[in-house]
Amino acid sequence: MVNGQPFDSTVWVGSNPTSYAKANATLETQEAYVSGLVEITAFTNSRSVSVNVIKDPQSTQPTDIWAEGAWSDYRGHPRTVAVYEQRIFYGGTDANPIRLWGSKSGDFDNFKYGTLDDDAIAFDIASSQANAIEWMASMEVLQIGTEGSEVTASSGSKEEPITPSNISVRTQSNYGSQSIDALLVNDTLLFMQRQGRRLREMSYSFERDRYVSPDLTQLAEHITESGVIQTAVARQPDPLVLSVLADGRLAAMTYDREQNVVAWAQWKTEGAIESVTSVYGNPNDDIWIVVNREGIRSVEKLAIESLDKSTMVHLDASVGGDYVGSGNDTTTITGLDHLNNKTVGCVVLGNDIGNYVVAGGQITVPNNTPVGTSGRYLVGLRYTGVIHPMKLDVSLQSGATQGKRRRISEVVIRFKDSLGCKYGKSLTNLDPVIFRSSTDPMDSSPPLFSGDKVVRWHAGSDRSGDIYIVQDEPYPSLVLGLAVKFEVFNS
């Protein structure tokens, strides 16, 4: 404005000004393109399609300025997702298996591209092979697992966040990954190698200035031989990595890198385990599984460890309830429809009272409980726990003992809160560990035992030196260690 008049209609005349003032202006521009949005419903030919209009375009005239949505039922949807530096990243579709899409910083629903530092990002994982993205995980950098390699994406600097103009992608290893989400356990990333038989531990090596991924299944390859189809981790009380196997078993790896503990076990049940997950709990995380038993699926929760024999659970697919001695000869336990025609074990007031066959969703058991005595009962499928340590080997002046004949004479088994174990040189040659003492009452099972049990070995000499500890009763068995006394023969 000049003298209150529009500037474009006024011509300034007069003398030169004697003072000056700053003028500020804000210039705004609209989008270069006016866009519309349509959904293709029918294909006529390469130049014509039928559509539903979602947002009106500026014109219905032919145009070559158009683009198809990155994700759809036709082009595929992302197979993995991760949140990194306040952006949500999606990775890998059928049409673009090596591409990552990152949202605008702080706005997970905005994928509008631009050159500003907080604009959305899209880039391909370029390499000599077009390896599809299988998983992503957020650490100090964005970890990305592909079919043929493991790579990282970041800004390339610890001081700067990732932006559209500073993306740095670096290959770390070439093992290749299975299409299973990686697990972040404390400060370490665990991922399944391609084919699902090896679990690898990704951590940063200062000596090599890159991420390295040693094999955690090196000493337990037989456990994951059938292949892993799903993983989960329970973090309390100790990190426990759970892997559903293709043959219906569940592999469990106790993992504590600070204590250098990597210990594998395998869990079997009557049926096939199809899925596993872990939910935060107090004091321990809860582990839930889906089990398929002859076409009937059930959701089951792993029982919390109990030191009370009346409340402990050591039967699968079990049902429990209150039990009161009535004075009748028998007692009928119902609610067992999911176990029809199955042979089940029954525990009453902490005592194993034998096997029964479920018919019509119920079993009838003898009532040996005194009138008025109350407690808990538990009915479920029995299972067998087996400990089979590595073969015995020591270094002697004459060399290693591998392959030599040996004779075990004594084994000390250190138990904690245990009852009802057997031991022997094979699964078909077992002797019971004696837990009952002369002071224990004979009308109930002995109390749980903690301490050392010395057992004599009568298996003679052989070259295997195998030791088996077996629990096939519905009681706890926690073996803390073994001490073995044996002789070695050079012949």
What would the mean pLDDT of 98-119 be, rounded to a whole number? 92
CB contact set of 411 (below 8 Å; sequence gap of 6+): 423, 454, 455, 457, 467, 482, 483, 484, 485
Coil vs helix vs strand at 454: strand
Claim to verify: residue 336 and residue 424 sit in the same structural domain: no
**What are the tens digits of pLDDT across the range 222-269?**
999 999 999 999 998 889 999 999 999 999 999 998 888 999 999 999
Long-range contacts of 428-436 (CB under 8 A, 24+ apart): 429/459, 430/468, 430/470, 431/455
**Is the pLDDT confidence value at 10 over 60?**
no
d(CA 215, CA 206): 19
Claim to verify: residue 347 and residue 429 sit in the same structural domain: no
Claim to verify: residue 354 and residue 392 sit in the same structural domain: no
Claim to verify: residue 235 and residue 336 sit in the same structural domain: no
d(CA 151, CA 189): 13
Domain limits for position 346: 316-383
Claim to verify: residue 270 and residue 359 sit in the same structural domain: no
Considering 111-115, 170-174, 242-246, 476-480, the range whose residues carry the highest mean pLDDT is 242-246
Claim to verify: residue 401 and residue 373 sit in the same structural domain: no
Model confidence band, residue 436 (pLDDT cutoffs 50, 70, 90): confident
Q: Are 291 and 269 in contact (CB under 8 A)?
A: yes
d(CA 352, CA 357): 15
Q: Are 315 and 333 in contact (CB under 8 A)?
A: no
Residue 355 buriedness (CB in 10 A; 0-12 / 13-18 / 19+)? exposed
Residue 121 buriedness (CB in 10 A; 0-12 / 13-18 / 19+)? buried
| 0.75 exceeded by pTM | yes
d(CA 255, CA 439): 41
Residue 290 belongs to some domain of the structure: yes
User: What separation in angstroms does the CA of 486 have from each of 58, 79, 405, 431, 432?
Assistant: 90, 55, 10, 18, 20
**Is the pLDDT confidence value at 34 over 80?**
no
Claim to verify: residue 56 and residue 168 sit in the same structural domain: no
Claim to verify: residue 106 and residue 255 sit in the same structural domain: yes
**Is the pLDDT confidence value at 313 over 70?**
yes
d(CA 429, CA 460): 13
d(CA 474, CA 164): 60
d(CA 46, CA 317): 59
pLDDT for 450 equals 92
Residue 307 belongs to some domain of the structure: no
pLDDT for 460 equals 75
pLDDT for 409 equals 87
Bigger pLDDT: 305 vs 341 = 341
State the total domains in the chain: 4
Q: Which of 318, 309, 272 is nearest to 294 (CA)?
A: 272
d(CA 363, CA 360): 8
Claim to verify: residue 62 and residue 204 sit in the same structural domain: no
- Which CATH number do you get for residue 187? 2.130.10.10
Claim to verify: residue 204 and residue 181 sit in the same structural domain: yes
| Mean pLDDT over each residue of the chain, to the nearest integer | 87
